[in-house]
Structure 1
Amino acid sequence: MLPYIPGQRWISDAETDLGLGTILTCDERSVTVLFPASGETRVYSVRTAPLTRVAFAEGDQIEHHEGWLMTVDSVEDDNGLLIYLGRRADGSETEMGESLLSNHIRFQKAKDRLLTGQIDRNDWFNLRYRTLQKKDQQSRSAIQGLSGARMALIPHQLYIANTVASRYAPRVLLADEVGLGKTVEAGLILHQQLLTGRADRILIIVPESLQNQWLVEMLRRFNLQFSLYDYERCAQYPGKNAFEQAQLVICSLELLTDHPELHQQAVSAEWDMLVVDEAHHLEWNEEAPGAAYSCVESLAQDTPGLLLLTATPEQLGKSSHFARLRLLDPERYNSFAEFEQEEAQYQPIAEALDKLEQDSLSAGDISALRDLLPESDAQALLDLLTQTESDEEQKTSARQQLQNQLLDRHGTGRVLFRNTRDTVTGFKQRELHTHALELPSQYRAPMNQGGLKAHLSPESTLPGILQDTWCEFDPRFNWLLDHIRDYGDEKTLLICHSAGSAMTLSNALKEATGIHAPAFHEGLSILERDRAAAWFADHDAGPPVLICSEIGSEGRNFQFARHLVLFDLPANPDLLEQRIGRLDRIGQQHDIQIHVPYFTDTGQESMLQWYDQGLNAFAAPCPAASALFAEFGETLEKAIVSGKDDLLKQTLNETTERKTILNAAMQAGRDKLLERNACRPDIAASLVDDIEQQDDPDALFKWLEDAMNVFGVNSEETSAVSWHLTPGEHMLNGDLPGLDSEEGFSMTTYRDVALVREELQFFSHEHPFVLALQDQIINSELGNSAVSLFKTKALPEGTLLLEVIASVNCSAPKHLHIGRYLPPGTLRFLLDERGNNLAAKVGFDGLAPKLSKLKKATAREVVKLRQEQIRTLADKAEELANDHLPTLIEDAQLKMQSLLYPELQRIKALKEVNPSVRDIEVKALEMEYLAAADAIENARITIEGIRVIVTA
Structure 2
Amino acid sequence: MGDFFSNQRYTSKGEPELGVGFVTNTSKGKVEIYFPISDTTRLYAAESAPLQRVIFKPSDRISDKNGRTLVVEHLELADDLYRYFGAEGSISEADLGDVSAKHSVDDKLFQGEVDSPQSFALRRETLEQDYRRRLSPVKGFVGGRIDLIPHQLYIAHEVSERYAPRVLLSDQVGLGKTIEACLILHRLLLSGRISRVLILVPESLVHQWFVEVLRRFNMWFNIFDEERCAALDDNAPEGNPFLDNQLILCSTEFLAESAQRTQQALQADWDMLVVDEAHNLEWSQEKISPEYAVVELLSQAAQGLLLLTATPEQLGLESHFARLRLLDPERYSNYQDFLNESSEHKDIAHIVEKLHLGESLNTKEKKTLESIFPRERTEAINKLDATSRNELIEDLLDQHGPGRVLFRNTRAAMQGFPQRIPHLIPLETEDTPLWQERFCKEFTNDTASPASETQAEFWFKRDPRIQWLLKFLEEIDPAKVLLICKSKEKVLALHEAFSKLSTLKVGLFHEELTIVQRDRNAAWFTESEGAQVLLCSEIGSEGRNFQFAHHLVLFDLPLNPELLEQRIGRLDRIGQKEDIHIHVPYLNGSPQHFMARWYQEGLNAFAENLEGGNSVFKLFSKRLLSICLSPLSGDAHSALDTLIKDTADFQKQLRKNLAEGRDKLLEMNSFRPEVAKDLITQIEAEDQNSTLEKYLSKVFRHFDMEMEDLSARTYYLHPASQSTEAFPSIPREGLSVTFLRQQALIREDISFLTWDHPISTSAMDMVLSSGTGSASFGILKGANSPGLVMELIFLLETSGAQNTYADRFLPNTPLRIVVNHQGKEVTDSYPADKLSKKLQSGKIEALLENDTLVQSILPNMIDAATEIAEEQSAREISRGLRRMKRKLNHEISRLESLQERNKNIRPEELAIAREERETLSDIINNARLRLDAILLIRVE
CA distance in 1, matches of 2:698, 2:850: 27
CA distance in 2, matches of 1:448, 1:465: 12
CA distance in 1, matches of 2:13, 2:503: 58
Q: CA deviation at 1:160?
A: 0.7
CA distance in 2, matches of 1:370, 1:478: 67
Q: CA deviation at 1:262?
A: 3.6
| Aligned with residue 109 of structure 1, among 81, 104, 113 | 104
Contact 1:455 1:641 in 2 (8 A): no
Which residue does the alignment assign to 1:436? 426
Contact 1:810 1:935 in 2 (8 A): yes
CA distance in 2, matches of 1:275, 1:45: 29
Output the amino acid matched with 1:278. Answer: E
Pair 1:45–1:573, CA change in 2 (3 A)? closer
| Aligned with residue 406 of structure 1, among 365, 374, 396 | 396
Contact 1:790 1:950 in 2 (8 A): yes
Bigger CA drift: 183-192 or 44-53? 44-53
**CA displacement 1:388-444 (0-9 Å, x = unmatched):** xxxx8xx44433322221111224111110101111111110000011113655544
Contact 1:520 1:552 in 2 (8 A): yes
**CA displacement 1:222-267 (0-9 Å, x = unmatched):** 1011122334333433445443333222222333334444444433
CA distance in 1, matches of 2:875, 2:836: 29
Bigger CA drift: 202-211 or 522-531? 202-211
Contact 1:76 1:82 in 2 (8 A): yes
Contact 1:12 1:18 in 2 (8 A): yes
Pair 1:182–1:862, CA change in 2 (3 A)? farther
Output the amino acid matched with 2:409. Answer: N
Q: CA deviation at 1:179?
A: 0.8
Output the amino acid matched with 1:613. Answer: E
CA distance in 2, matches of 1:472, 1:216: 34
1:256 aligns with 2:248: no
Output the amino acid matched with 1:21. Answer: G
Output the amino acid matched with 1:749. Answer: F
Pair 1:33–1:732, CA change in 2 (3 A)? farther
CA distance in 1, matches of 2:645, 2:851: 92
Which residue does the alignment assign to 1:887? 875
Which residue does the alignment assign to 1:777? 767
Aligned residue pairs total 926
Which residue does the alignment assign to 1:425? 415
Q: How does 1:334-733 map to 2 (within 5 A)?
A: 334-359=333-358, 364=363, 367-368=366-367, 370-374=369-373, 381-382=377-378, 385=381, 395-438=385-428, 442-446=434-438, 452-453=444-445, 467=458, 470-539=459-528, 541-643=529-631, 644-729=636-721
Q: CA deviation at 1:72?
A: 3.4
Q: CA deviation at 1:669?
A: 0.9
Q: CA deviation at 1:10?
A: 2.7
Output the amino acid matched with 2:771. Answer: E
Q: CA deviation at 1:296?
A: 2.2
Pair 1:283–1:466, CA change in 2 (3 A)? closer
Bigger CA drift: 848-857 or 726-735? 726-735
Which residue does the alignment assign to 1:217? 212
CA distance in 1, matches of 2:579, 2:140: 33
Q: CA deviation at 1:651?
A: 1.4
TM-score (norm 1): 0.91
**CA displacement 1:421-472 (0-9 Å, x = unmatched):** 1111111100000111136555444555686445899xx98986954xx222
Contact 2:56 2:72 in 1 (8 A): no
Q: CA deviation at 1:777?
A: 1.8
Q: Between the two proteins, what is the percent identity of the paired residues?
A: 39
CA distance in 2, matches of 1:218, 1:727: 28
Which residue does the alignment assign to 2:147? 152
Output the amino acid matched with 1:196. Answer: S
Which residue does the alignment assign to 1:764? 754
Contact 2:351 2:361 in 1 (8 A): no
CA distance in 1, matches of 2:357, 2:473: 53
Which residue does the alignment assign to 1:16? 16
Pair 1:656–1:208, CA change in 2 (3 A)? same
Which residue does the alignment assign to 1:823? 811
Output the amino acid matched with 2:921. Answer: A
Pair 1:99–1:342, CA change in 2 (3 A)? farther
CA distance in 2, matches of 1:512, 1:169: 59
Pair 1:945–1:382, CA change in 2 (3 A)? farther
Pair 1:103–1:584, CA change in 2 (3 A)? farther
1:35 aligns with 2:27: no
| Aligned with residue 118 of structure 2, among 101, 117, 123 | 123
Pair 1:324–1:31, CA change in 2 (3 A)? closer
CA distance in 2, matches of 1:187, 1:828: 38
Bigger CA drift: 20-29 or 860-869? 860-869
Output the amino acid matched with 2:910. Answer: V
CA distance in 1, matches of 2:471, 2:443: 31
SS at match of 1:204: strand
Q: CA deviation at 1:840?
A: 1.9
1:195 aligns with 2:190: yes
Which residue does the alignment assign to 2:863? 875
**CA displacement 1:126-180 (0-9 Å, x = unmatched):** 1111111111111212222122111111111011111112223222111111111
**CA displacement 1:798-844 (0-9 Å, x = unmatched):** x2211111221111222222122113232212222222322223311
| Aligned with residue 740 of structure 2, among 750, 754, 768 | 750
Contact 2:464 2:587 in 1 (8 A): no
Output the amino acid matched with 1:927. Answer: E
1:161 aligns with 2:160: no
Pair 1:45–1:320, CA change in 2 (3 A)? closer
CA distance in 2, matches of 1:76, 1:107: 16
Q: CA deviation at 1:860?
A: 6.3
Pair 1:647–1:3, CA change in 2 (3 A)? closer
Contact 1:455 1:603 in 2 (8 A): no
Contact 2:824 2:864 in 1 (8 A): no
Bigger CA drift: 248-257 or 94-103? 94-103
Q: CA deviation at 1:190?
A: 1.2
Which residue does the alignment assign to 2:327? 328
Output the amino acid matched with 1:335. Answer: N
CA distance in 2, matches of 1:326, 1:503: 47
Q: CA deviation at 1:729?
A: 3.9
Pair 1:270–1:664, CA change in 2 (3 A)? same
SS at match of 1:307: strand
1:277 aligns with 2:276: yes
Q: CA deviation at 1:282?
A: 1.7
CA distance in 2, matches of 1:675, 1:276: 22
CA distance in 1, matches of 2:36, 2:163: 22
Pair 1:3–1:212, CA change in 2 (3 A)? closer
Specify every segment of 5 or more residues in structure 2 that has no aligned partner in the other structure, as ranges.
Answer: none
Q: CA deviation at 1:648?
A: 1.7
Specify every segment of 5 or more residues in structure 1 that has no aligned partner in the other structure, as ranges.
Answer: 87-92
CA distance in 1, matches of 2:248, 2:375: 50
CA distance in 1, matches of 2:886, 2:68: 32
Output the amino acid matched with 1:282. Answer: L
Contact 1:455 1:602 in 2 (8 A): no
Q: CA deviation at 1:32?
A: 3.0
CA distance in 2, matches of 1:325, 1:907: 20
Q: CA RMSD in A?
A: 3.0
TM-score (norm 2): 0.92
Bigger CA drift: 675-684 or 914-923? 914-923
Bigger CA drift: 282-291 or 447-456? 447-456
Pair 1:379–1:941, CA change in 2 (3 A)? farther
